[in-house]
Amino acid sequence: SLHSLLLAMVLHPSFQEKVHAEIDDVVGSRRPPAFDDQPRMPYLHAVILETMRWNPVVPMGLPHTSLKDDVFDEYFIPKGTAVIGNGWGISRNTKYYEEPSKFDPERFLKQTPELDPREFVFGFGRRICPGSELGFQAIWITAASILWGFKLERGSDDIVAPEQDSERFSLGSVRYERSYKLYNEHNSLRRAKCAGVLQVQNYSKAPKPWRYVRSLWMIVVAKPGMRPPGIATNRWPIPLA
């Protein structure tokens, strides 16, 4: 996702400028971003959501097997069927997104935002990725730090959007751009140096409410062939206090 976000910022400099303006207004130049800044940075939040929708890392999800015969709408699903959630199809569905092939983070800043891609990019149901919230927060703080310290420009002329040259993107369970070159053109060398050096930060916790603990039973107690315990068969996800 970070790979795609950097690509998106290079391809769409006007959106990158808006993120820089927001970070400069909230954070300034005397310190790097922290999780406490997150509630006041809606534009960066929207850019991350749009990156996840525009170029999902796992476009077709992972296969799961039906435990018994089932019916979904008019479709009969026999026991033992491999079922794959089509996240790519959802991300390109005009029912949920206006001009879905277009990169536009402002779709999530409308009075009625479009569908949050976290509803499908991390999987579905009780088998959803248990690290979804951790993953999102890691992307947020890393993206905020990079864009605080760097203005990203093309390092070569062959950088293109995914829909313009699909062969440059990997094929398989995970989708990413094979390679591209960027360079920094930030007007503050001190900030670029600060962001470019690995630092030990005493970050505050990510802002509450933390969304969910999802599928935690799979990590803690699950064994091959084991069915979910009773708590996992009830309504999910489980909210954190």
Residues contributing to the annotated binding site for heme: 129
Separation between Cα atoms, residue 18 and residue 22, nearest integer Å: 6
Report d(CA 92, CA 75) in Å as an integer.
Answer: 22
d(C-alpha 145, C-alpha 167), whole Å: 30
Binding residue positions:
129
Residue 42 structure tokens: 């809606």
Amino acid at 105: P
Contact yes or no for 148/27 (Cβ under 8 A)? yes
SS3 117: helix
- List residues bridging with 82 in a β-sheet: 65
- DSSP 3-state percent helix, strand, coil across the chain (nearest 5): 40, 10, 50
